[in-house]
Amino acid sequence: MNPVFWILAVLTVIGALAAVTLKNTVHCALAVTVAFAGLALFYLQLDAQFAGFAQILIYIGAVAILVVFAILLTRGSETPRTGLFSRSWFAGMTIAAAVFAVLGWAVIQSAHVLPHESAAPAVDVNQIGNALLNRYVLPLEIIALLLTAALIGAVIVAMHEKGESK
Amino acid sequence: MTPLAGYLLVAALIFAIGLAGALTRRNAILVLIGIELMLNSANLNLIAFWRYGPHPELLTGMMFAVFSIAVAAAEAAVGLGLVISIYRHTRTTDLDEMNRMKG
């Protein structure tokens, strides 16, 4: 394990923790951006440059901005009087801790059969383009259809209806 | 500890944090942020297995992660549109106060 891994792990986990615990919702959106950036750096460190830059473009460039827009449009940055956490917070924390315990136990139990260090795969954009238009052309078309449907659906769902507006 | 086990443990920790956020926060937007964190930790698992598994030249895990990122972006757009639509009807994003499906 090299020091870069530990630095990225600490950065990402602190960003994720801050995103779910901070009081101000705008601060949460900024903290989750830090976590997304840490994950993008993880992808770059794992020699998945294409996925890393796609993560930076889509998550930091689009999803984080969308979240900030939603927070500002809904006055979500105000702290609610009733508290940050829902009434069933203890059950939620217990379920999350149990899920982490099971996942961590499974990983540690199977650590000796996991593959060790291997040579870095040489992947260039040419190969990725060929793969996308040969082997993965059907998923690519389906994802294009899904994105079009989601775009139209999001606009229709959030559209202001004149007849029944308050 | 092998490098792959380290990545899997970090992904499990981020998944648990996202699950805790999605289950305990009141604000609907923060629940969506928790779900995005869970999706991202799954992507980290896919890419770590692709990097250390056999035949990385087939690009399977990375392509899966890229498609999953695209689906997550569509999900975030529709989810935030729903939150804004609900806010327009009920003037709140507090999930504990949203206890009926009818607007």
Domain ranges of chain B: 3-97
ipTM above 0.90, yes or no: yes
For residue B81, the chain A residue with the least C-alpha distance is A158
What are the C-alpha distances in Å from B87 to residues A25, A73, A104?
16, 9, 38
Q: Rounded to whole angstroms, how far apart are CA atoms A156 and B84?
A: 12
Paired tokens of B13: 């920790």
Which residues in chain B have Cβ-Cβ distances shorter than 8 Å to A160?
88
Which residues in chain B have Cβ-Cβ distances shorter than 8 Å to A4?
none
When CB atoms are compared, the residue of B48, B58, B82 closest to A46 is: B48
Assess whether pLDDT exceeds 60 at residue B103: no
Mutation to test the A interface, candidates B19, B75, B94, most A Cβ within 10 Å: B19
Q: CATH classification of B3-97 is 1.10.287.3510, yes or no?
A: yes
Band of pLDDT at residue A121, cut at 50, 70 and 90: confident
Which CATH topology does A1-79 take? Four Helix Bundle (Hemerythrin (Met), subunit A) (1.20.120)
Over the stretch A33-88, which tens digit does the pLDDT of each residue have? Answer: 999 999 999 999 998 999 999 999 999 999 999 999 999 988 765 666 667 787 78
Which residues in chain B have Cβ-Cβ distances shorter than 8 Å to A35?
14, 37, 40
Write down the pTM of the prediction: 0.91
Q: Quick check: A166 and B88 CB within 8 A?
A: yes
Element housing B83 (H / E): helix B60-90
What is the residue extent of each domain of chain A?
A: 1-79, 124-166
Q: How many CB pairs under 8 A join A and B?
A: 258
Q: Rounded to whole angstroms, how far apart are CA atoms B31 and B25?
A: 6
